[in-house]
Amino acid sequence: EAQVTQNPRYLITVTGKKLTVTCSQNMNHEYMSWYRQDPGLGLRQIYYSMNVEVTDKGDVPEGYKVSRKEKRNFPLILESPSPNQTSLYFCASSSEGLPEETQYFGPGTRLLVL
């Protein structure tokens, strides 16, 4: 089954404690991205990756890092989380990142930073 998986699904942490949210896809997609979803603000792209070792900033990259060492994985790293990073995070992938392509979204990771 084609899918994007994220772990963990729920996470409570404290300010400053580094964390990583993993994302993996099994569709051999070139393009992967991370979004955050906040009430009243909608979905906003954090980072995206066009291929292995190729990453670029989205609209709200501050406070986040990513890496793409393998095609299937695209982890999101919060080196020093702050309460304003409390949000619902989605990983997504598509074949080449073109607008007309279906983006497959993961189930989401709900993060609370105290």
Of 10, 40, 62, 69, which lies in the binding site for other proteins, with binding defined by CB under 8 A? 40
- Of 23, 17, 100, 7, which is closest to residue 55 (Cα–Cα)? 23
Per-position DSSP letters for 79-96, written without gaps between them: SS--GGG-EEEEEEEESS
Q: For the CB of residue 72, give the shortest distance to other proteins in the complex, in Å.
A: 17
Task: Confirm or reject binding of residue 55 to other proteins (CB under 8 A).
Answer: no
**Residue 80 burial by Cβ neighbours in a 10 Å radius (0-12, 13-18, 19+):** exposed
Stretch that binds other proteins, among 17-25, 43-51, 68-76, 79-87 (CB under 8 A): 43-51
- Residue 27's Cα: distance from chain center in Å? 17
Among 44, 65, 71, 72, binds other proteins (CB under 8 A): 44
CA–CA distance, 31 with 57 (Å, rounded to integer): 13
Residue 7 in the binding site for other proteins (CB under 8 A): no
Among 41, 53, 80, 82, binds other proteins (CB under 8 A): 41
Residues that bind other proteins (CB under 8 A): 4, 39-45, 48, 58-59, 90, 92, 97-100, 102-103, 105-108
